Amino acid sequence: MTLPKISVTIITHNEEENIENCLKSVKWADEIVVFDSFSTDKTLAICKKYKARIIKYKWLGYSKQKNLAIDNARNEWVLSLDADERITKELLDEIKKEFERGDTADGYYIARKNFFLGKWIKHCGWYPDYNLRLFKKSKGRFIEREVHERAEVNGAAKYLKNPLEHYTYKTLSDFISRLDRYSTLSAIELHKKGKRAGWSHLTIRPITTFLKMFFLKLGFLEGFYGILLSGLYSFYTFSKYAKLWEMDKKG
């Protein structure tokens, strides 16, 4: 079987620190589509170096933005990435072998090696963290929600063995600023569904989040990184429901 043409889609907004390493890892692609929300830094200049097709569009939300990027891909097979992700040589070789065998699915789940403050986190529920990223344009779609978007495929899916690399949360300040944004979006999502925040959401759930990540998900094996992550996610849970309570109060 001839290797099909693959379009890589990436959504961006002021990603000059991440985008070049991402583009380097996918320079083999037949097409790179950068769907940009009017970056004001060097993001677009870097993208032009790699001959990416740049489309500027106002920000509509994570899932909507990724679906629009997919809609603009010229090839049937799409690999959807974030700017802070990289495709490794081992993963690319596995993708090539999968297509060369001819027994392809409609989509492929790819594990992620998530890095926190520069360290690969193997526990806390952070690995393997499978996500559908490679799929047929006609079969795959991101579920439209405010945050924590995930793609689904209408057809057969397989799991690849080799992970991509995800360099997220390079500093604690980065985590905290995104925690504030994501907790707001999560609260909006819950509010739209008619959910309300009670006492247990503000007391028991944050504690449960910490215990689950640190003990059940073996976060203690990560040492101080495990304590940090478990504590930060506990505060994220508290923030999400506190903001939901505030929304309920304001009507």
Residues 6+ apart with CB under 8 A from 70: 9, 78, 80, 137, 140, 141, 142
* pLDDT band per the 50, 70, 90 thresholds, residue 148: confident
pLDDT digits (tens, 9 = 90+) for 216-246: 999 999 999 999 999 999 999 999 999 999 9
Does 186 score more than 90 pLDDT? yes
Cis before residue 128, ω within 30 degrees of 0?
yes
| pLDDT number for residue 145 | 87
What is the mean predicted confidence (pLDDT) over 82-92? 98
What pTM, to 2 d.p., does this model score? 0.95
